[in-house]
Amino acid sequence: MSKGYGQMMRRALTAGLIALSANTYAVENPDNILGYWRVIDDRSGFAKAIARFSKNADGTYVGVVMRTIPRPDYTPIEVCQKCPPPFTNRKVVGMPIVWFSETNSTKSNERGWDYVRGHAIDPIQGKIYQGKARLSPDQRRLVMRGYVGVSMFGRSQVWIREEADSPLLDGLPKFDPNQKFEIELPAK
């Protein structure tokens, strides 16, 4: 075995360990998902809302729409008319649109996903999907995956973390990571 090959293998192993530790950081610190996020429409690529991830008293991580973002040729819906109970006819602003009851990446079929056993609701279609999510290593992006049945046949969205001084947060309450909420969710 050549000296160059050994160095290359050590570098590859080091890079792999760094990537693995970065990917598991969110699971070791599950509250890293908390805060404000800009919701990006996976079809248009435009921002459509600001959501806040909070932690329910039961430990469930819940993303609630705090503000919709209008743009040319798009008017956000105000009421979730097609949604199943308990979301039927609820205003979209203030409504939970995603929630995760478990944080782990140890299950063989959930490797690489930090937040699992989740659900997401599409207020336009009125459908609830299974969901999972993972934070990027720099914790600035949240990849959300929604699907019915098998994840392979789902859709993904990337949400972008909003900093406290973002103009998109003007008028919204300052985020308190220690505040616990009781947000009504469908029965498990």
Single-letter residue type at 53: F
Report d(CA 88, CA 107) in Å as an integer: 34
Residue of 137, 6, 27, 123 lying closest to 76 (CA atoms) = 123
Examine residue 154 and state whether it is found in any structural domain, yes or no.
Answer: yes
Average pLDDT over residues 157-185: 86
The separation between the first and the last C-alpha atoms of the chain, rounded to the nearest angstrom, is 56
Query: Total structural domains in the chain?
Result: 1
Which structural domain, as residue segments, surrounds residue 143?
Answer: 3-181
Q: In sequence order, which residues have a C-beta less than 8 Å from that of residue 122 and are 6 or more positions away?
A: 129, 146
Examine residue 188 and state whether it is found in any structural domain, yes or no.
Answer: no
Task: Dump strand ranges (E) for 79-150.
Answer: 79-80, 90-91, 96-103, 115-122, 127-135, 141-147
Examine residue 101 and state whether it is found in any structural domain, yes or no.
Answer: yes
Examine residue 186 and state whether it is found in any structural domain, yes or no.
Answer: no
pLDDT bracket for residue 2 (50, 70, 90): low
Least confident of 15-19, 24-28, 102-106, 173-177: 15-19
Percent of the chain exceeding pLDDT 90 equals: 49
Report d(CA 121, CA 146) in Å as an integer: 9
- Residue 158, SS3? strand
Pairing label, strands 96-103, 61-68: antiparallel
Examine residue 54 and state whether it is found in any structural domain, yes or no.
Answer: yes
Least confident of 9-23, 33-47, 116-130: 9-23
User: Would you state the pLDDT for residue 149?
Assistant: 87
Examine residue 94 and state whether it is found in any structural domain, yes or no.
Answer: yes
Examine residue 57 and state whether it is found in any structural domain, yes or no.
Answer: yes
User: Would you state the pLDDT for residue 188?
Assistant: 55
Report the CATH number at residue 171: 2.40.128.520
Examine residue 107 and state whether it is found in any structural domain, yes or no.
Answer: yes
Tens digit of each residue's pLDDT (9 = 90 or more) over 126-157: 999 999 999 999 999 999 999 998 888 899 99
User: Would you state the pLDDT for residue 24?
Assistant: 40
Q: What is the pTM of this model?
A: 0.78
The pair of structure tokens assigned to 49 is: 């809302």
User: Would you state the pLDDT for residue 25?
Assistant: 41
Tens digit of each residue's pLDDT (9 = 90 or more) over 5-20: 445 445 444 444 334 3
